[in-house]
Structure 1
Amino acid sequence: MNKEEVLKLAKLARIDLSDEESQRLVGEFEAILNYVGQIKSASPASRKATEDESEYALKNVMRDDGEPHESGIHTEELLKQAPNREGDYIKVKKIL
């Protein structure tokens, strides 16, 4: 990527760049494009084979359902911490 291409992108994005900024961006874009090129060239075949591929397999992790706690057991404790309350509800300011 050269300076003219960076200036063209800046014009499309409707931003003004100084000469110093455009020169710095040329280097940054080059680094990004080189990195993307390295990623593209990497293939699954070039990866080292591990002895146990299942170690890295994607799988759903589930937990067993437990017994839920008794309804309302924490309500009073929560309401005590609220700045305003009305009955068994936390009172807040209207926002609309």
Structure 2
Amino acid sequence: MGIDDKEIEKLAKLSRIKITDAEKKKLSKDIENIFEYVSEIQEISSNLQDDNFLNSRFVNVMREDGEPHKSGIYTEKILKEAPDIEDNYIRVKKIL
């Protein structure tokens, strides 16, 4: 998929810029490279849309609901490590 000089001239006119013949050739090559890159990306994204690929790669990992530990089991240990305690709460500096 190439782009000819007429299309480059049209783009230059729409952009309101003046370009030389050498710049036309360079822009033509650059735009052609961009088109090739975009077509590669389109191929990759069409491969990613395959249902088998998506289903085989991403699986939800679930755990059973339950209590991980009894409530208050670590409270005493945490309070012993705190620098300042008041009524079984850790005292911290005011923020606001």
Give the TM-score range, shorter chain: 0.3 to 0.5
Choose between structure 1 and 2 for higher RCO, CA contacts under 8 A separated by at least 6 residues: 2
Higher helix share: 2
Normalized against structure 1, the TM-score is what? Answer: 0.44
Rg larger in structure: 2
